Structure 1
Amino acid sequence: MAKQSPSVFLEEWLQSSSGVNDFSPSGPTLSAQAIIQAWADLRDLLQRQTFHPRHLEALKTLISSQVSLYVAEPQAKLVVAILSSDHVSLPPESYAFFLRLLYVWVRKSSRHSPLLVTSVVDLLLHLFSRKFDSTRSSSFLSEEILLLGSLSFSFNASEKSKTSCLELLYKVLEEDYVMIGSSDSHMHSVLAGIGYALSSSVQAYYIEILDFLFGMWNKKDGPSANVSQGLMILHLIEWVLSNNINAHASDKINLLRMEAFQSRKPAYATFAVLMAAAGVLRCLGRWGSTKFMELRTSAEEVIGIVGNELISRTHCLKSYEIQSRESFLLQCISLALARVGSVTFRAPLFLCLTSALLIEIFPLQRIYDQIIEHTEGGLFELGLNKHLETIIFKEAGVVTRVLCNFYASADEENQHAAETMIWDFCRHIYIRHRQAALVLQGHKGMLLTDLEKIAESAFLMVVVFALTVTKHRLNHRIAQEIQQQLSVKILISFSCMEYFRRMRLPEYLDTIRAVIISIQENESACISFVESMPSYDDLTRNNGRPTLQKTEYVWFTDEVQTARILFYLRVLPTCIERLSATAFRKIVAPIMFLYLGHPNAKVARASHSVFVAFLSSGKDQEDKDRVQLKEQLVFYYMQRALELYPGLTPYEGLASGVAALVRQLPAGCPPIFYCIHSLVEKVKTLCSLVNSKEADLWKSWDGDLEPPKKLLELLLRLLYLVDIQVLPALMKQLAEFIVQLPPGGHDMVLNELYQQIAESDDVTRKPTLVSWVQSLSYLHSLSSLSLNSVSSRL
């Protein structure tokens, strides 16, 4: 069975289903004594035939406890008597409260006296005929419509009373539509009244009322449409159909037939039909019956026609500057499809969903334009916090899921169209967010935070979509070249959105693994990926709009750019085997060396990892250019890394780079000797900056001595890593340094050496190292020898 309203009151359920922010189904909890007193005040009103302010307060007290309030027949008669009295002068605002009490009676009472129902109908006819302008406010009219609709839906009312209610309800709609549409705050009550009427067992005025529902937004001076109202219509039709899902369902919503609603009608009329058709599909989906396939087909065709017309009017929505009417319909289509669930694939709807996500749900392009237009220090009141609270933004995940389901059913042409839109979106977001972040530097407030919340959700959408693409396109049915091109585009898009990745996502990792497998064995795909990196000049200059040139640009403070480069640095080691030496030299090396000096240790370590990966690559290849480039890079690597140590160069990154070069380069090659010499010289420089007179300082090697100690430990570790041809030179340079240390430092190094050698199982080097350490101990004991004498002995 279709899901019924969990609330007794349809208007409350419509509000909650449409995501109205100010919806509150229950007022303050009132005591039974307060409610009893309020009814007593109303009885006093009827007896004294005089209305006082306390009577209005009594009405407000009762209405505020509507959820828990029960109105029995005697109390309903009291209300009718007050409204029917010619001797009581009621204030205009009180009428809506009295009608609300009668509505509570209708909805909560299990039995309605036919005579009382007739009295209420006669009362409403009387009130309608009076035509008091002061009485007939939008609030009064909405309550009147709500009460008339609920009476027509009542099981205990006679057919004659129901017919009278429907006739009067239609007259109110037709004659007072201007006032009905003057206040959005009462639209939920108006729609609920219409919903009750459409669910009445009496068929009178059914077509007329339904026609008014679909056309009221197109009337002159009618209400202005919004997304919440659209969702109310969707769930209203769902509720109506669920009450009539049996034998006559097709007849009950005949006007939803495709023939009756061509999308040539103006946009706001179209939106109502669109949302109503979605309500039909939602109910039928819950019902799960194939009995109404013709009805389902008609409803799907209605939505498909709206989507097709929308795509045609906006030229495939390639422009981000669309009209407000199309913008509104995009939101309605996306929400309708999100609420419906399973819908037959139609290409226009697929493209509409894609555009709705990129333009309406994540309106980043428009936001960036507005921000950059205020580069002279204007106020940035863009209402982003309001967008974060909208129902359209909160439904982003569901809309993305529907989009992915459509993608699985789309042909290759439409799949490619959606992919292109989303990949382009990622690239534009990267470019524009960098510019916006520069403009907003130092700007107080939550603007940048709210902006990045929207972008973060957009990142999640991109990841989910990309994973869907990999599942359906990276398979044997697609040409390998197309797979590789698609994989590169996904990686580039991820790099552009990397700044907004704030959590670990299994979908993100699964997608990257899938696309890397596709490109890491193909040289052209690897080069294509590498060539997509921003150039060195782009990274170190502000290449934004001319209006941003006044802003001083410092490359390492650009967090958006840094996040993108970090993505490349992490992915590069996985495909570096297929990357030519030429491509590495021209594209990767300059960026790698630049980011070796990045203040963020995580970024710097990633740069060291790229260096290590390149040194370790090509083992099975006889590539002289690659070997030559490796040797050439070592010289600048050691200079760059050591000049920034210990300030910016992380020790772990340096240690991994040094270990890799002594293992991977040809034995005894000049770069290895240069590496050892550079390390020793750096240790000497660092130690010379420390006050050697502080004897206690050399006992622990903490504090200022920690950086040189780490480098010395690295040199000691190299004793077991360097080739046997290099080992004598390493021992000689170490010995020259060690014998110059103060006694405390000398003792500590010797103790470290003793321990390492004792634990070593390298039978080739161990005898040589034992003899070497014994010589160091002996030289240390000859404290009277001059430095020249020590050097000669070494």
Structure 2
Amino acid sequence: MAKQTQTLFLEEWLKTNSGVISNPNSTNSTPQSARSIIQAWADLRESLNQKLFTQQHYQSLQTLLNSGIALYVADPQVKLIVSVLSTPDLSLPSESFPLFLRLLYIWVRKSSKPSPVLINSSINVLFQLFSSQFVANKSSLFFTEGLLLLGAFSFIPSIPENSRTQCLELFCKIMEEEYKLVSLFDDLVPSVLAAMGYALSSSGIIHFTRILDSLFGIWNKEAGPTSTVSHGLMVLHLVEWVLYNCIQSHEKITIFSRQILESSNTSYASFSIVMGASGALRASNRSTSSGLMELRSCAEKRLEIIASDLISNEHKDSVLLQCISLALARTGDVFTKDSLFSCLALAILTEIFPLKRFYTNILSFYGNKGIHEVKQHLHSVIFKEAGVITGVFCKQYAQANETSKSKVENLIWDFCQDVYMSHRQVALMLQGKDDQLIQELEKIAESAFLMVVFFALAVTKQKLVPNVHKQIQLDISVKILVSFSCLEYFRRMRLSEYMDTIRGVAGSVQENETACVSFVQSIPSYADLTTVHVSSNKMEFTWYKDEMQTSRILFYLRVIPTCAEYIPSSVFKKTVAPILFLYMGHPNGKVTRASHSTFVAFISSGQDSDDERVSLKEQLVYYYMQRSLEGYPGVTPFEGMASGVAALVRYLPAGSPCIFYCVNCLVEKAHTLCSQFPKDHDSWNDLHDELEPCKKLLDLLLRLLSLVDIQVLPSLMKLLAQLVVELPEEGQNMVLNDLFAQVADSDDVTRKPALVSWVQSLSYLSSKATINRGDRKPEKSSAVNWNKGRLFGLNRIFPRM
């Protein structure tokens, strides 16, 4: 027999690897003091001497087992246990037998060189227990502990061969006759599988075949256990452990191969065969044994058969799908088949991220059952392995044929649309009622978003390459952008993979008019954005409170500027403009800034010779100014509005009426804001924060002096002068100082002479208006005038005196 593994307690190792526990040393163990353990052994010795086993003695037995696998059982204690079990005059309660067997199991596994005499006496006692009249009342736990002990005895290298054979014979008999008891409870499965592992690793050909039949057939029995994913993982790692650590016999591996290929195709059998075959693959990945390489071929073939049957079956097996996905993830460098790839895609969309099922259940019947289902999934093994499974999925995609690739791509893109529509409905329905359930659903959706990102990146690496037809590249790029927009709400971190994908697909789309139009036309309509799609007559829907919808529109508003040049004016007018102006009134600053950036991108796009585009630009300016100024200050960010104004005065035709309109609107808004405060000049300085919006508009108007064309400049100067002369003296001084500096630094030889003359006149008019109002203070104005004179001394310009 090959070298034994360092794993002392195989059942604990299986539970750890299957995600049932995180630390095997803490399993079923409560720290016990040395004194309490010594006392417990003394109590058991007392029961033997008194020939009486009371409830107190049973409690002492439990005290020992409370230490779990941390307990050490020495030879003297084993002699005591054997004596207690073999004394006919000592009446033991039925519930004590599993505990005694567990103590013997701990001794066998922890003892480096167990005494042959004690082994023989322990085996004899065990045989007596199974052959006694008491066997009719034995529990599932007793049979399970007995199997575990029989397997551990057979696994001892120094055990006599006849004793090993006897143990294996009894083991097989129990497995075949008492399978209902040993597989009835989920919490006993790890111990049963561990017992099989010990027995398989030490058995001869006959017993090996019988035990293997039980391993791959126990799940197919009438009263078999509830099939769970954690049990499947235990089967996987059990087979890996047995094959890699213990089996070197070519004959055994041949039997294993035949069993994998010829086992029943029923649901439960397929469940165990999938995990067993995957365990064989995992073992072959770690070994260069020729026998394991042959077994690998059989395992791959059987996995392909099961996957093909599962895909063709209308009624999908949920557990089998989960097991296939986990098996492929745990196997590592797994082979690629289109049937496996399709199975993996189906598992990802229905089992790993079962959002569609959750949404349907919640919308149709909201209750505790739905809440429990979501919480349970969050803590499941399959969800915790989502990242690894996604990695395998992407590798499988790279090797799949084009038909399978296209089919799966469409499934993923449709999944994104479904999540967007359904999550919005559920969030609106549960808002204020069950925010915790929404948060838990979003945890699953966040992981789904990551899956989509990595899958999309894998798609771009395969499709956005020179040898792929350009139209296919464009279609894929648009679909990825639309899918990302649907799940943008769940993007809670900065991912390099996300940014790389966006750059790739956006770069493909932004210079093709057809692709740009396709992307833009996928944006939800104005009617959809302002209408709730939840069947509730009493629900009040406010479009800007829909955060998921807002995130999607923000995604569009960030991408559209990169391709504005190629969006026809008719498409922009019909599709983008209504949404653009709607979201200019959104309370979220990021959204409103993106709206202004989109407006700027369109205004600066196209050729001046495109009359239709120019006409639309001029039409949009009127709406833009109204929408911007009605939300300023407050909703409208000044920087966004300033960039929009600068763009329209720069890119619209010279002398355009809408530029005049823009200037008039800005002056009127500035006048309204400034007139809200007292004319007393002290208030101008005292109310700095309150006056900030007005000051920003004045600053914008001053900047326009150097931006507007010559035809608009006279009107701007006239309106600005009318505004300035009505300001308090401190406000006039501020504006004139800024004007003096701006004109003095100007290199524009065309407009500078006019501005110089205008500033002189404005200075005079402002001084006169101040005197007429009687609010001038000479001592303050002298300092201001000195600064003004210094600024304009080189230009022979003198401000008011």
Q: Residues of 1 paired with 2:736 and 2:671: CA distance?
A: 17
Q: 1:156-212: CA deviations, max 9, x gaps?
A: 211111111101111111222111122111111111001100001544411111101
Q: Residues of 2 paired with 1:354 and 1:259: CA distance?
A: 24
Indicate how the Cα distance of structure 1 residues 441 and 488 shifts in structure 2: closer, same or farther if over 3 A, else same: same
Match of 1:235 among 234, 237, 257: 237
Q: 1:69-109: CA deviations, max 9, x gaps?
A: 22222221211111111121112221111111111111111
Shift in Å, 1:243:
2.1
Structure 1 residue runs of 5 or longer lacking an equivalent are 315-321, 788-793
Query: Aligned letter for 1:773?
Result: V
Range that drifts further, 470-479 or 703-712: 703-712
Give SS of 1:782's match. helix
Asked if the contact 1:244–1:252 (Cα under 8 Å) also holds between the matched residues in 2, the reply is no
Match of 1:683 among 649, 670, 686: 670
**CA-atom RMSD, angstroms?**
2.3
Q: Residues of 2 paired with 1:439 and 1:624: CA distance?
A: 48
Q: Residues of 2 paired with 1:111 and 1:554: CA distance?
A: 76
Give SS of 1:381's match. helix
Shift in Å, 1:474:
1.1
Query: Aligned letter for 2:338?
Result: A
Indicate how the Cα distance of structure 1 residues 101 and 580 shifts in structure 2: closer, same or farther if over 3 A, else same: same
Indicate how the Cα distance of structure 1 residues 759 and 700 shifts in structure 2: closer, same or farther if over 3 A, else same: farther
Indicate how the Cα distance of structure 1 residues 260 and 508 shifts in structure 2: closer, same or farther if over 3 A, else same: closer
2:343 is aligned to: 352
Asked if the contact 1:234–1:277 (Cα under 8 Å) also holds between the matched residues in 2, the reply is yes
1:279 aligned to 2:279? yes
Asked if the contact 2:261–2:302 (Cα under 8 Å) also holds between the matched residues in 1, the reply is no
User: How much identity, in percent, do the aligned residues show?
Assistant: 55
Shift in Å, 1:125:
1.0
Q: 1:477-516: CA deviations, max 9, x gaps?
A: 2110111011111111111111111111111111111111
Asked if the contact 1:256–1:276 (Cα under 8 Å) also holds between the matched residues in 2, the reply is no
Q: Residues of 1 paired with 2:14 and 2:368: CA distance?
A: 40
Query: Aligned letter for 1:358?
Result: L
Q: Residues of 2 paired with 1:219 and 1:242: CA distance?
A: 28
Indicate how the Cα distance of structure 1 residues 777 and 311 shifts in structure 2: closer, same or farther if over 3 A, else same: same
Matches within 5 A, 1:276-355: 276-288=276-288, 292-314=292-314, 322=315, 326-355=317-346
1:184 aligned to 2:186? yes
Indicate how the Cα distance of structure 1 residues 288 and 4 shifts in structure 2: closer, same or farther if over 3 A, else same: farther
Q: Residues of 1 paired with 2:272 and 2:369: CA distance?
A: 37
Query: Aligned letter for 1:526?
Result: C
Query: Aligned letter for 2:674?
Result: C
Query: Aligned letter for 2:255?
Result: N
Indicate how the Cα distance of structure 1 residues 731 and 6 shifts in structure 2: closer, same or farther if over 3 A, else same: farther
2:67 is aligned to: 65
1:579 aligned to 2:567? yes
Q: Residues of 2 paired with 1:47 and 1:4: CA distance?
A: 39
Query: Aligned letter for 2:689?
Result: G
1:451 aligned to 2:451? no
Query: Aligned letter for 1:508?
Result: Y
Asked if the contact 1:149–1:169 (Cα under 8 Å) also holds between the matched residues in 2, the reply is yes
Matches within 5 A, 1:187-198: 187-198=189-200
1:383 is aligned to: 373
Match of 1:732 among 718, 737, 753: 718
Paired residues in the alignment total: 771
Q: Residues of 1 paired with 2:438 and 2:501: CA distance?
A: 29
Give SS of 2:145's match. helix
Range that drifts further, 344-353 or 626-635: 626-635
Give SS of 1:67's match. helix
Q: Residues of 2 paired with 1:578 and 1:288: CA distance?
A: 58
Asked if the contact 2:267–2:320 (Cα under 8 Å) also holds between the matched residues in 1, the reply is yes
Match of 1:672 among 651, 659, 671: 659
Query: Aligned letter for 1:69?
Result: L
1:438 is aligned to: 428
2:644 is aligned to: 657
Query: Aligned letter for 1:685?
Result: T
Shift in Å, 1:140:
1.3
Q: Residues of 2 paired with 1:552 and 1:378: CA distance?
A: 25
Asked if the contact 1:540–1:555 (Cα under 8 Å) also holds between the matched residues in 2, the reply is yes
Asked if the contact 1:668–1:725 (Cα under 8 Å) also holds between the matched residues in 2, the reply is yes
1:213 aligned to 2:201? no
1:569 aligned to 2:557? yes
1:137 is aligned to: 139
Asked if the contact 2:129–2:135 (Cα under 8 Å) also holds between the matched residues in 1, the reply is no
Query: Aligned letter for 1:392?
Result: I
Indicate how the Cα distance of structure 1 residues 712 and 571 shifts in structure 2: closer, same or farther if over 3 A, else same: same
Asked if the contact 1:470–1:511 (Cα under 8 Å) also holds between the matched residues in 2, the reply is yes
Asked if the contact 2:201–2:247 (Cα under 8 Å) also holds between the matched residues in 1, the reply is no
Provide TM-score, normalisation by structure 1. Answer: 0.93
1:317 is aligned to: none
Match of 1:742 among 708, 720, 728: 728
1:82 is aligned to: 84
Q: 1:585-643: CA deviations, max 9, x gaps?
A: 11111111111111111111111111000111124x73221122112211111111111
Indicate how the Cα distance of structure 1 residues 249 and 518 shifts in structure 2: closer, same or farther if over 3 A, else same: farther
1:593 aligned to 2:595? no
Range that drifts further, 113-122 or 773-782: 773-782
Q: 1:539-567: CA deviations, max 9, x gaps?
A: 1122x25x234422221111111111111
Query: Aligned letter for 2:581?
Result: F
1:643 aligned to 2:634? no
Q: 1:395-430: CA deviations, max 9, x gaps?
A: 111111111101000111110011011001111111
Query: Aligned letter for 1:383?
Result: E
Asked if the contact 1:181–1:224 (Cα under 8 Å) also holds between the matched residues in 2, the reply is no
2:529 is aligned to: 539
Shift in Å, 1:283:
1.0
Indicate how the Cα distance of structure 1 residues 378 and 29 shifts in structure 2: closer, same or farther if over 3 A, else same: closer
Match of 2:612 among 616, 619, 625: 625
Shift in Å, 1:574:
0.9
Query: Aligned letter for 2:517?
Result: I
